């Protein structure tokens, strides 16, 4: 760049001198053109020589300054390592907040945000039944006002090899009690040994959502509707399926977008509803009315294994689509021989015209279907002489939703859901005698129209109506609910998935 500027300056000076010399020539043309040209070229060479010398001086000064900064940084790192301090590191005031880290590296905090979800509404059912209808942990689940989710997100580059991501949440449950959770905390590889990232490989490690389907890996503020789909609440529990483990993604070398995911996670905990779960979570939702008989993790076969394959396609200039299939396998909480399989398919069709105004208008159609085979182990209690044989409980469900952004800031949509199961044999003496009485396995249909107003990317208002039909409800098995939701975002949040 500097040499280009030098050349331009030389040519400019040459043209200036030539113009000036011609202006001073007498009208008779006594001075020959050859002599004038020779004079201009000599001046040009002299100017180029001077500018080359200046260029060398600037380059030398820049190298000296860089060496001085490097020496100062190393001296600061050695001083910090030899004299630890209890003072918190100061956060920079620039667009990238930087704090000193061990070994002279610097943590760059790329995104810091707080996202708040709240709602107000009314239902034809009492609060106890609303909590069963709205089984998601971040669903509006009582009459009046709800604070369904407050999420603090921190994302940053750990070093040239890793990115870090942490999500902390707070919410009020239907009883008005405060709940704090670590939703996710994991690292993602940027560079791998032997240059494996150049072959499309990426590794994640930590506490994370399970990459099953489209909705489960998303945070609640990324949902189009205000509540979690019924089938996901049944299979994965109120907070979705997440746990500590690792996942490997491979971007396949094919002409279209195609990614394969393989993962393994701990099977225990309240967020592993269909697997080893926890005593408390299983007491609230005993699948098939079976008692909790988890033996914990005894071997690698007592972990949950994931496999997912997703493909994306361009369908013309304005249309795009995505198809995915997912599968899970792991132990469940009914005994050492208890096993669970969950598998499903998901799809997305999206239209955004090339002449769109900041993403409007648009049309997005997406859905999922999932099936669970829950093989309960045999059980015998010597004290009570209660015994159960092997039993396999099969459940499935699906949802289909369409959202149309008809003008900038405004969207309208509708979602339909269905969930059911089979195998009505329940444990004798359990609180639930048949599947129709089970709010987590009985027949269920829900239709939800939605109106969205989004003034900016930092705020959103949603008006949603739920028309429910569920076997476990008293009366005519129907329920009607209205929810007005408000979301606002403070800070910067990374873009959501396609």
Residue 328 β-bridge partners: 306, 342
Judge whether 163 lies within some domain: yes
The pLDDT tens digits for 34-51 are 666 666 667 767 676 677
Judge whether 151 lies within some domain: yes
Judge whether 239 lies within some domain: yes
User: What is the band of 168 on the pLDDT scale with cuts at 50, 70, 90?
Assistant: very high
Nearest to 421 by CA among 400, 433, 439: 439
> What is the extent of the structural domain holding 456?
112-491
Q: Is the pLDDT of residue 403 over 90?
A: yes
Judge whether 429 lies within some domain: yes
- The reported pLDDT for the residue numbered 378 is 86
User: What is the band of 109 on the pLDDT scale with cuts at 50, 70, 90?
Assistant: low
The pLDDT tens digits for 127-154 are 999 999 999 999 999 999 999 999 999 9
The pLDDT tens digits for 306-348 are 999 999 999 999 999 999 999 999 999 999 999 999 999 999 9
Judge whether 267 lies within some domain: yes
The domain spanning residue 256 has which CATH number? Answer: 2.40.160.10
- How many structural domains are present in the chain? 1
Judge whether 80 lies within some domain: no
Around Cβ 336, how many Cβ atoms within 10 Å? 12
Token readout for 477 is 């098995």
Q: Is the pLDDT of residue 91 over 50?
A: no
Read off the pTM: 0.77
Average pLDDT along the chain = 83
Judge whether 70 lies within some domain: no
Judge whether 34 lies within some domain: no
User: What is the band of 475 on the pLDDT scale with cuts at 50, 70, 90?
Assistant: confident
């Amino acid at each position: 760049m500097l040499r280009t500027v030098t050349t331009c300056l030389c040519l400019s000076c040459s043209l200036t001198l030539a113009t000036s010399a011609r202006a001073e020539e007498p009208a008779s043309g006594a001075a020959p053109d050859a002599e004038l040209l020779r004079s201009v070229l000599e001046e040009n060479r002299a100017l180029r020589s001077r500018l080359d010398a200046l260029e060398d001086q600037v380059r030398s000064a820049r190298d000296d300054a860089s060496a001085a900064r490097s020496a100062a940084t190393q001296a600061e790192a050695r001083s910090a390592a030899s004299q630890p301090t209890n003072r918190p590191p100061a956060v920079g005031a620039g667009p990238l907040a930087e704090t000193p880290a061990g070994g002279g590296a610097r943590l760059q905090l790329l995104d810091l945000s707080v996202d708040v979800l709240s709602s107000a509404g009314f239902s034809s059912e009492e609060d106890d039944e609303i909590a069963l209808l709205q089984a998601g942990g971040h669903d509006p689940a009582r009459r009046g006002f709800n604070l369904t989710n407050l999420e603090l997100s921190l994302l940053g580059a750990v070093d040239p090899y890793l990115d870090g991501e942490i999500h902390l949440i707070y919410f009020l449950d239907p009883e008005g009690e405060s709940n704090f959770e670590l939703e996710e905390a994991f690292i993602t590889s940027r560079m791998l040994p032997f240059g494996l990232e150049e072959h499309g490989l990426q590794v994640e490690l930590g506490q994370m959502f399970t990459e099953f389907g489209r909705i489960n890996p998303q945070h609640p503020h990324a949902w189009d509707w205000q509540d979690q789909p019924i089938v996901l609440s049944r299979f994965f529990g109120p907070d979705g399926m997440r746990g500590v483990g690792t996942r490997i993604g491979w971007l396949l070398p094919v002409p279209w977008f195609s990614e394969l995911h393989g993962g393994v996670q701990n099977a225990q905990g309240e967020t592993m509803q269909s697997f080893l779960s926890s005593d408390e979570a299983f007491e609230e939702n005993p699948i098939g009315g079976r008692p909790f008989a988890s033996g914990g993790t005894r071997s690698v076969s007592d972990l949950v294994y994931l496999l997912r394959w997703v493909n994306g396609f361009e369908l013309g200039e304005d249309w795009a689509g995505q198809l995915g299939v997912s599968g899970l396998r792991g132990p469940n909480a009914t005994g050492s021989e208890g096993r669970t399989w969950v598998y499903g398919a998901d799809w997305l069709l999206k239209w955004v015209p090339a002449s769109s105004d900041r993403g409007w208008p648009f049309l997005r159609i997406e859905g999922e279907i999932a099936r669970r085979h829950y093989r309960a182990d045999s059980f015998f209690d010597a004290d009570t002489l209660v015994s159960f044989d092997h039993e396999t409980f099969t459940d499935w469900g699906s949802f289909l939703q369409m959202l149309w952004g008809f003008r900038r800031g405004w969207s309208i949509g509708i979602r339909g859901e269905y969930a059911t199961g089979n195998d009505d044999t329940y444990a004798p003496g359990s609180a639930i005698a048949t599947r129709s009485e089970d709010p987590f396995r009985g027949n269920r249909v829900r239709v939800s129209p939605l109106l969205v107003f989004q003034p900016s990317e930092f705020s959103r208002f949603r008006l949603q109506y739920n028309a429910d039909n569920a076997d476990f409800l008293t009366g005519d098995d129907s329920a009607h609910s209205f929810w007005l939701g408000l979301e606002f975002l403070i800070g910067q949040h990374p873009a959501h998935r396609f």
